[in-house]
Amino acid sequence: MRTSFIKTLYEIAAHNPRVTLIVGDLGFGVVTEFAERYPNQFINAGVSEQNMTGLAAGMAMAGRIVFTYSIANFPTLRCLEQIRNDVCYHAANVKIVAVGGGYAYGSLGMTHHATEDLAILRSLPGMKVVAPGDPVETRLAVQTLVQDPSPCYLRLGRAGEAAIHAGDIDFAIGRAITVLEGTDATLISTGGMLENCLKVARRLKAEGLQVQVISMHTVKPLDERAVVQAGLKTGVVLTVEEHSEVGGLGSAVAEVLLQVGYQGVFRKVALPDRFSAVAGDFEYLRALGGLDVESITNVVRKAVGTADAGLVHTARVGAIG
């Protein structure tokens, strides 16, 4: 996703001199070509994320389309006050890009684990929150966000994510993408968990279960209609995210289902509400957090079993207004 982001921004910047990239003294193997080709559209703000964000807000209010870029928590939590007061309060045209959502920088420890960012950023007024599922969605998200004047948060992976979509797709902020159809359960994925969700669906298909997979690349504004339709269609809805179980995609989906009177099965597959005391490969950390294919598969099996046993009411949802 990281490569797809910078390649797309590079192509756009060639035709739009308003597009500006500000980095926090990192990523030189990735951003070097951009910096050399567009010196008037690139700033290294140094290890000073608060200043980076304030600078971005000022440049945006002067007419620029500004992308800030850094690892995991640094362009988000370290400068949260500047995002809230400078960017969101002024509705500035700033796109905050965090590379390494979740455990992507797992070996560097909890300071580099981005596991609360979706919850915090989605709580800010006026902020759109986008977490693409693969490089194709990333490219289309960047192209779309350049045209959107509002503050946006773009959460990327950096672990060589596979391209899930074969070609261009119908992409729009706030509109989910159904990647795989199914009738027995729905997996709603955000960010880099999309590939694992598809692996889970294919594994369960061999057991006779038809699992629908939805890429919820936009956490805010959430595609509420897609959530409600999933509940109506399958009666078993599970959210999957490489993020804390508190306040992220699962919480956003639960809010929608509760408001429309959903009575089917709902499960959140997410990281536990605690810091990881372990540093290691991101796949290893995912497994410890229950986000590997085997763990997700087991949760789906149990959820479908609960529905089949009649332990909940049949799914019933009201109309969404």
Given this model, what pLDDT does residue 26 score? 84
- Give residue 321's pLDDT: 42
Question: What is the model's pTM?
Answer: 0.94
pLDDT value at position 263?
92
pLDDT at 229: 97
- The span from the CA of 69 to the CA of 53, in Å, is 10
Look at residues 119, 132, 134, 115 and name the one whose alpha carbon lies nearest to residue 286.
115
What is the pLDDT, as a whole number, of residue 306?
Answer: 84
DSSP one-letter string for 163-193: P-SSS----BTTB-EEEE--SSEEEEE-GGG
Domain limits, the chain? 2-156, 177-308
Residue-by-residue pLDDT tens, the chain, 321 positions: 999 999 999 999 999 999 999 999 987 788 999 999 999 999 999 999 999 999 999 999 999 999 999 998 999 999 999 999 999 999 999 999 999 999 999 899 999 999 999 999 999 999 999 999 999 999 999 999 999 999 999 999 986 888 999 877 999 999 999 999 999 999 999 999 999 999 999 999 999 999 999 999 999 999 999 999 999 999 999 999 999 999 999 999 999 999 999 999 999 999 999 999 998 988 999 999 999 999 999 999 999 998 776 655 444 444 444
User: What pLDDT does residue 309 have?
Assistant: 65
Distance of alpha carbon 67 from alpha carbon 30, whole angstroms? 15
> CA–CA separation, 23 vs 242, rounded Å?
24
Architecture of domain 177-308: 3-Layer(aba) Sandwich (3.40)
- The architecture in CATH of the region 2-156 reads 3-Layer(aba) Sandwich (3.40)
Cα–chain center distance at 157 = 9
236-244/185-189 β-pairing: parallel
Q: Are strands 128-130 and 152-156 parallel, antiparallel or unpaired?
A: parallel
Q: Are 2-156 and 177-308 equal in CATH topology?
A: yes
Residues 84 and 96: their CA atoms lie apart, in Å, by: 12
